[in-house]
Amino acid sequence: MAPLSDLSIALAFPWPPSAYLWFKSLHIVGVVVWFAGLFYLVRLFIYHREADDLAEPTREAFRSQYALMERRLANIITTPGMAVAVAMALGLLSVQPAWLHQGWMHAKLAVVAILLLYHGFCYRLMGQLREGTCRWSAKQLRALNELPTLLLVAAVLLVVFKNQFPTAWATWFLVALVVAMAASIQFYARWRRLRAEALALSSTTSRASS
Ligand code: HEM
């Protein structure tokens, strides 16, 4: 692990004793803000995509409003939250560089790498939605929005359990979570379809009787 050894030497710095607790507090704040932004951003993408089904001129008004909300949320909340979380994580590692040689930290860094890719992908989707070239359906976006939940659970379990990580239990837990999420997306899609059919039927009946 030569590159990580180099990084741990580069990060090592004689901080005052309370620095670690400051870094950790601000790291947690950054993580909370980052995830709040990521969760709400893809929810806005779902509404943005559903606005395509509306009639003009409402459609264009909704689309431009969602594009504005997405851009502000991404640039003012989500990305700054990510920057604080990552900057404070580097501070934590500079106080505890030895963790860079432990398996749980390698796994956590892998989870964070996926999260950073997801963050970048959200920017790409945001651009496509703005241009009207996004090919993701609202249902696919709903499924995509579950990915950060899994990464959040994995990152928190890794940092809390560290070297005592309960691999088997954690795997079952994550599998159960995926099944529950997939089932809830299917149930919700079915409920929406049945509700739309019932509404269409009742408006036809009321038009026929008037
Ligand atoms: C940039 C990559 C990251 C690195 C290098 C990193 C590193 C660390 C370190 C060294 C700690 C201190 C652990 C302790 O004092 O016991 C910590 C705490 C924590 N991290 Fe991260 N972290 C990163 C990203 C994340 C992400 C993305 C999440 C959430 C999904 C997260 C959630 C937490 C939580 C909840 C704690 C507090 C755990 C505790 O006090 O027991 N971290 N992190």
Collect all residues with Cβ–Cβ distance below 8 Å to 21 and sequence separation of at least 6.
Answer: none
Helix or strand or coil: residue 8? helix
Q: How far is the CA of 163 from the centre of ligand 1 (A)?
A: 14
- Cα 138 to Cα 141: distance, rounded to the nearest angstrom: 5
Phi–psi pair at 143, nearest 5 degrees: -65, -40
State the Cα–Cα distance between residues 17 and 89, nearest whole angstrom.
Answer: 16
pTM of the model: 0.88
CA distances from 67 to 60, 72, 144 (A): 10, 9, 19
What is the tens place of the pLDDT at every residue in 40-52?
A: 999 999 999 999 8
Q: Which residues lie closer than 8 Å to 138 by C-beta, 6 or more apart?
A: 46, 49, 50
Give the H or E element holding residue 175: helix 167-209
Give the 3-state secondary structure of residue 204. helix
Task: State if residue 28 touches ligand 1 by the CB under 6 angstroms criterion.
Answer: yes
Per domain, the residue ranges of the chain are: 2-165
Q: Which two tokens stand for residue 139?
A: 């249902």
For 56-86, write each residue's pLDDT tens digit.
888 999 999 999 999 999 999 999 999 999 9
Which among 115, 25, 107, 132 has a CA at the least distance from the CA of 79? Answer: 115
Q: How far apart are CA 136 and CA 183, in angstroms?
A: 20
Q: Is the CB of 160 under 6 A from ligand 1?
A: yes
> Residue holding tokens 């509700």?
195
Say if ligand 1 is within 6 A of residue 157 CB. Answer: no
Query: Omega of the bond prior to 17 within 30 degrees of 0, cis?
Result: no
Ligand 1 probe mutation, 100, 108, 118, 157, most atoms within 8 A of CB: 108
Portion of the chain with pLDDT greater than 90, in percent: 73
Of the candidates 1, 28, 3, the residue with the CA atom closest to the CA atom of residue 92: 28
pLDDT tens track, the chain, 210 positions? 456 666 666 666 777 889 999 999 999 999 999 999 999 999 999 999 999 888 888 899 999 999 999 999 999 999 999 999 999 999 999 999 999 999 999 999 999 999 999 999 999 999 999 999 999 999 999 999 999 999 999 999 999 999 999 999 999 999 999 999 989 988 988 898 898 888 888 878 877 776
Cβ–ligand 1 distance for 156 under 6 Å, the answer yes
